[in-house]
Amino acid sequence: MKNLDQTFSLQDISPKGLERSRKLTQLISSEIKAASQQVISFDRFMSLALYADSLGYYVGGREIFGAKGDFVTAPESGDLFGFCVAEQCAEILGENNVVITEFGAGSGALADTIIRYFDGKILPSNFNYSIIEPSPYLSQRQKNRLKKINSELADKVNWHATFPNEGFLGVVIANEVFDAMPARRFTIRGGEIKELGVACDGESFSWEIKECSVIPDLILDRMANYPEGYTTEHVERQATWFAEFKKFFNRGILLVADYGYVDQDFFHLDRCDGTLRCYFNHQLHNNPFLAVGLQDITTSVNFSYLAECALSAGFNVDGFTSQAKFLIGNKIDAQITMLSGGDSVDAYRLAQEAKRLILPTQMGESFKFMACSYGLDKDMSGFADNERFRLG
């Protein structure tokens, strides 16, 4: 990880962006000043930094995805990822009733690709695509993007800001959504497990112990006897998310794709500073207090904990594997042949895209797929090499 303060230049930020960041900083500072002990939890800070009305990172209107933004997700890098995910959806659903819901659709890249995959393969009356997107700015962006697709299937997309009442059927996809959920932070201080909160001095933020916190059982268990200074994160709201989601999920399969680890790697002693990361202009660092609202803040997913949340909510956990194995299982090689249509330049470009998605040194191993089901039992080619046993 780069040394943050040397690489992060405020000159890279527009005056409008700086003004927005200043307003958000004031909003958070006043909440901290009003809080007991003048410290708020880190998940509250992260929630405001990412999602505060019209000011947070995901709602503020800055370009955040792709080469001109801060980071490139798998669907942003081209069609291969989306075609493989669509291939998996087709295997699960057949081609007579394709009902897909996507959580946190970002720029709309994955929806765009999946719609083009099914275009011409199924009747519009057999297709339904819902997007659950809490950011009004991103919803509008997705609508603008999908309007440009020349396919009747694009007219079948509908949007919701939160869980819709009518209930879920079919395949639900969440790509890089769980890593964007606000996390609490814990550290060993004076031999005890303490919560790290956020304090402020004027308009600058700092880490501060949040006294009298209730420490989650998982953290009490995993960090017992860990060395002084060991720090990690925990996203409790993943449990509430699964419980809430289950209320509306009638029948189908949830596909989660994200970067993360199984429990024993997540809490590895060598990972002594946790997994908190920030992205700005493709620079990676670990200071969430810089240019608040203008940089992404994220933590890696603990897939063992996520599986536990799913099981407690009443789901089955059917599959867990690396992104590389999921994409290979869904015929990434055949997708390259089909998408290149025999053009050698396109085939070369797609081969480069595939390398980024599947090489272990790039996204292939650090990104994982997990499948959770309710009321539907399906063999899935993406999980042919199933490593569910690794979840513990």
Ligand X SMILES: C[S@@+](CC[C@H](N)C(=O)[O-])C[C@H]1O[C@@H](n2cnc3c(N)ncnc32)[C@H](O)[C@@H]1O
- Told to check if 106 binds ligand X by CB under 6 A, we report yes
Phi, psi of 140 (to 5 degrees): -65, -40
To ligand X, the closest distance from the beta carbon of 334 in angstroms equals 23
Task: Return the residue of 32, 98, 115, 138 that touches ligand X, per CB under 6 A.
Answer: 138
- Residues numbered 109-128 forming contacts with ligand X, rule: CB under 6 A: 109
Q: Which helix (H) or strand (E) holds 197?
A: strand 192-201
Q: How far apart are CA 352 and CA 350, in angstroms?
A: 5
Instruction: Report the residue number, 171 or 181, with the smaller CB distance to ligand X.
Output: 181
Q: Which of 74, 366, 35 is nearest to 199 (CA)?
A: 35
User: To the nearest whole angstrom, how small is the minimum distance from the Cβ of residue 258 to ligand X?
Assistant: 9
Cβ-based nearer residue to ligand X, 186 or 367: 367
Q: In this structure, what DSSP letter does residue 269 have?
A: T
Q: Which of 42, 45, 58, 303 forms a contact with ligand X (CB under 6 A)?
A: 58
Q: How far is the CB of 293 from ligand X (least distance, A)?
A: 14
Number of residues engaging ligand X in binding (CB under 6 A): 19
**CA 187 to CA 229: how far, in whole Å?**
6
Out of 21, 41, 73, 231, which residue is the one contacting ligand X (CB under 6 A)? 73
Minimum CB–partner distance for residue 26 and ligand X (Å): 23
In the bound complex, what is the minimum distance in angstroms from residue 368's beta carbon to ligand X?
14
What does residue 338 show for φ and ψ, rounded to 5 degrees? -70, -45
Nearer to ligand X, 81 or 205 (CB): 81
177 in contact with ligand X (CB under 6 A): yes
Binding test (CB under 6 A) with ligand X, winner from 46, 52, 99, 180: 180
x/- string (CB under 6 A) for ligand X, residues 147-176? ----------------------------xx
- Crossing angle of the two packed helices 42-51 and 15-34, in degrees rounded to 10: 150
Nearest to ligand X of 114, 138 (CB atom):
138
The footprint of ligand X on residues 320-379 (CB under 6 A) is none
Stretch near ligand X under the rule CB under 6 A, chosen from 86-94, 177-185, 245-253, 277-285: 177-185
Cβ-contact 337, 327 below 8 angstroms: no
Using CA of residue 249, residue 217, residue 301, residue 8, what is the dihedral sign?
positive
Closest to ligand X by CB, 138 vs 223, is: 138
Length of the chain: 392
Using rule CB under 6 A, residue 105 touches ligand X: yes
Inter-residue contact 195 to 215 (CB < 8 Å): yes
Residue range at the interface with ligand X (CB under 6 A); choices 99-107, 201-209, 211-219, 307-315: 99-107
DSSP state of 76: G
Question: Minimal distance in Å, beta carbon 89 to ligand X?
Answer: 15
In the bound complex, which residue of the shown chain has the CB atom lying closest to ligand X?
Answer: 104
Q: Which residues on adjacent β-strands are paired with residue 101?
A: 130, 172
- Say if strands 168-175 and 98-103 run parallel, antiparallel, or are unpaired: parallel
Sequence-ordered alpha helix ranges (H) in the chain: 4-7, 15-34, 42-51, 80-93, 109-118, 136-147, 217-222, 237-248, 263-266, 303-313, 323-329, 332-340, 344-358
Interface with ligand X (CB under 6 A)? 58, 73, 75-76, 103-106, 109, 132-135, 138, 175-177, 180-181
